[in-house]
Amino acid sequence: MSSQLLRQPAEIRFQDELQRLHEQDGSAAKPANWYLSPRSVRAFILGDDKLNVSRKFYGDDALVDRAIVTLMGKQGLMLVGEPGTAKSMLSELLAAAISHDSGLTIQGTAGTTEDHIKYSWNYALLLAEGPSERSLVPSPLYQGMAAGKTVRFEEITRCPPEIQDVMVSMLSDKTMMLPEMGEGARLLAQSGFNVIATANLRDRGVHEMSAALKRRFNFETVKPIQDAKFEQQLLRLQLQQELGDLKGQVQVGDDVVEVLVTVFQELRKGVATDGTHLKKPDAVMSTAEAVNIAHAASLEAAFLGDGAVTGGALARQLRGVVLKDNDEDIARVQYYIDAVARERAKHNSAWKSFYEESKALWQ
């Protein structure tokens, strides 16, 4: 059954690595209720060749160290940055390593209510028995406080400010009041409890956090990958993982990977390598989106083509990524194709395939 799941949580996907690190910890000092020691949490995320533990986060290693230190203290951890910079992945990896449970997650939306953050009720039991532990339906935050685990709050700034501020007392006093259960009833957080929140500050519909809530978090910015060669290596690695059993049926040339990463890097930065200034699209041009394009182009090659991914296949998939809800992005990409891709197409077959397909798609 597990082999048919689209995606397993990190603690299942990497259970062998977690087990090796847990056994290696032995009597190593660790905070209360942590599954791994801080040193092993770092090794789980950044890799350890001696223990055959894979690297899972590619970026600022010092950021990971600061995140671990934050979660050992009283402050919550806030990961902010552009969409697609692996904030959610990093929060999942941290929760899996610290609590061996990445599933205590609140998804912030415009419709998130106080009940989603604290608790709700089984109304049939509530009517039959009144307020009780049996009739109470605990939220992920409630469960994390009760068990001393790490709780994830995704897209916290998409919640209205009055809902965000429900978190203030929980993060400062580590207490959740339960007035329905009687006078003075409350839940006291166990040692090990903490919160990792994420925020895409560029997204539409976000709400400013109050100063009171900001003070309860240490902020860390997860930045896009700047090095093109490194991004190419990472894209190829993640593509192999995405393809799984299909990877032997698809050929993705280095020249095709270079075209894809170059397009994303230049549109993301707003300048081509030859100095041509570009207008950045509003669409997200992240490494995660580049991997999605490479994966879709590979599926097309495997099931509808001859198994070889071409620049033209990248162009076809790029349209669906860039064209979201801003018509001005069409003109911005058209300019890039005419001013940059056309010149490169004269000297490179992968760029030629990309350019020829793009001409028809972006008219």
Same domain, 268 and 130: no
Pairing outcome for strands 136-138 and 119-121 = antiparallel
* Residue pair 335/329 in contact by the 8 Å Cβ criterion: no
CA 76 to chain centre: 17
CATH of the domain at 45: 3.40.50.300
Determine the pLDDT at residue 245.
85
Residues with Cβ within 8 Å of residue 291, at least 6 apart in sequence = 235, 238, 239, 242
Distance CA 208, CA 160 (A): 9
Distance CA 189, CA 149 (A): 9
Same domain, 212 and 296: no
Question: Residue 1 — pLDDT band, cuts 50, 70, 90?
Answer: very low
HSE on the CB side for 183, CA within 13 Å?
0
Distance CA 350, CA 146 (A): 56
The residue segments making up the domain with residue 327 are 228-361
Q: How many domains are there within the chain?
A: 2
Q: Which of 198-202, 239-243, 316-320, 345-349 has the lowest mean pLDDT?
A: 198-202
Same domain, 202 and 258: no
pTM for the structure as a whole: 0.90
Average pLDDT (120-146) is 95
Statement: residue 306 has pLDDT above 60: yes
Determine the pLDDT at residue 325.
67
Same domain, 210 and 241: no
Among residues 194, 221, 248, the one where a domain terminates is 221
Measuring CA to CA, which residue among 312, 328, 326, 324 is closest to residue 361? Answer: 312
